[in-house]
């Protein structure tokens, strides 16, 4: 990533109740709602989007480091979980926990992959922008061939 400052703009359009749309030029619209819903139709809440942003940032940081280290992984997945708690008179996401699973082709690169995961967490700027704690738990599987 360039060291130049960047400005990110998002437009939110209210659609009634607590529903809205996140509109960014050239990108798909994201439907949102302010309340967790049950049933067949559910839209992303701000909490969903925050956890998704941390999870995606961690993945991108990890990928950056494996590219720099010139190591290859067969697959990567991460499950993100954010804990919403009442703090004083408001609610906050107080902790984000990621559980990643990485499949590699050889035991020989396990140490490098572990280091790339550590660096991915350390340099995830979205997580670093939060006051919530950020934890990651990683599982590396070797699948030779």
Q: Report d(CA 67, CA 77) in Å as an integer.
A: 17
- For every residue of 31-91, DSSP letters joined together read EE-SS---SS---B-HHHHHHHHHHHHHHHHHHHHHHHTT--EEEEEEEEEEEEEEETTEE
CA atoms within 13 A on the CB side of 56: 6
- Taking residues 116-143, what's their average pLDDT? 93
Convert the pLDDT of each residue in 9-24 to its tens digit: 889 999 988 889 999 9
At residue 35 the predicted structure's pLDDT band, cuts being 50, 70 and 90, is low
Convert the pLDDT of each residue in 42-66 to its tens digit: 789 999 999 999 999 999 999 999 9
Convert the pLDDT of each residue in 74-101 to its tens digit: 999 999 999 999 999 999 999 999 999 9
For the record, the structure tokens of 94 come out as 């107080």
- Taking residues 27-36, what's their average pLDDT? 86
Q: Report d(CA 111, CA 84) in Å as an integer.
A: 34
Contact 105, 142 (CB under 8 A): yes
The pTM score is 0.86
Q: Which domains does the chain have, with CATH numbers?
A: 46-142 (3.30.300.20)
């Amino acid at each position: 990533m360039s060291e130049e400052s960047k400005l990110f703009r998002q437009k939110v359009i209210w659609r009634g109740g607590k529903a809205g749309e996140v509109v960014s030029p050239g990108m798909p619209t994201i439907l949102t709602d302010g309340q967790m819903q049950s049933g067949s139709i559910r839209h992303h809440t701000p909490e969903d989007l925050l956890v998704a942003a941390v999870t995606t940032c961690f993945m991108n940081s990890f990928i950056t480091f494996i590219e720099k280290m010139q190591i290859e992984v067969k697959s990567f997945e991460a499950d993100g979980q954010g804990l919403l708690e009442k703090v004083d008179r408001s609610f906050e996401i107080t902790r984000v926990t990621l559980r990643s699973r990485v499949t590699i082709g050889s035991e020989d690169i396990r140490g490098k992959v572990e280091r790339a995961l550590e660096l991915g967490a350390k340099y995830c700027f979205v997580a670093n922008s939060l006051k919530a704690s950020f934890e990651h738990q990683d599982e590396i599987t070797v699948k030779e061939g």
